[in-house]
Amino acid sequence: MTAAASIERRAFTELRASGRRLEGYAATFGSEARIGSIVETIERGAFRASLGEDILALMDHDPARVLGRTRSGTLRLSEDTRGLSFSLDLPDTQPGRDVLELAQRNDLGGMSFGFVVPRGGDSWRGERRSLRTVMLREISVVSSFPAYPDTSLALRSRPFPAADEARRRRLIIAELSA
């Protein structure tokens, strides 16, 4: 089995929009998702081990449509009592403009995340799965229907200071040159 084949994905639906920065929740703790006959919940702290890693923000889980990443600072992630919160600075690329337009029209399906469960990271009780620890790989803005019901997305308008914009360009050029 390839690494890509073992990545699981879950999605959420609540989206709000205004401006060029997306903020909200990619996952919420304690919320139930029905995946086939399985009912799954995410426990508080499940993402803690992943927060120091380089996590991507994608459109519809498509690695060809990168919206941001933690390594460059264009995606910021944290856990709070509600779930996995994020703040994403949308790029001026076609996928970024598409997400911006769809968010403003309230046409997006929600947020989703791709993850791997390490050994011992989940527990089962009959048909109920509880995710205690997951290794987060990416979060995605999804245009279709999500699995989990409770996420949020807000679009914030903030002009980027010239220094921030110059830093973003240097990071993008360095990444493309690598």
List, in sequence order, every residue forming a beta bridge with 141; answer none if it has no partner. 59, 111
CATH code of the domain covering residue 76: 3.20.16
76 has a pLDDT exceeding 70: yes
For range 144-170, the mean pLDDT: 49
* Separation CA 55–CA 34 (nearest Å): 25
Kindly report, residue by residue over 29-60, the tens digit of the pLDDT.
Answer: 998 888 888 899 999 999 999 999 999 999 99
Amino acid found at 165: E
Termini Cα distance of the chain: 28
C-alpha of 96 from chain center: 14
Evaluate whether 70 touches 76 at the Cβ level (below 8 Å): yes
* Separation CA 57–CA 157 (nearest Å): 19
Number of domains in the chain: 1
Residue span of the structural domain in which 103 resides: 4-177
CA atoms within 13 A of residue 170's CA, in its CB half-sphere:
7
128 has a pLDDT exceeding 90: yes
Measured in degrees and rounded to the nearest 5, phi and psi for residue 160 equal: -80, 125
Measured in degrees and rounded to the nearest 5, phi and psi for residue 90 equal: -70, 135
List, in sequence order, every residue forming a beta bridge with 88; answer none if it has no partner. 22, 75
Q: Is the pTM of this model over 0.85?
A: no
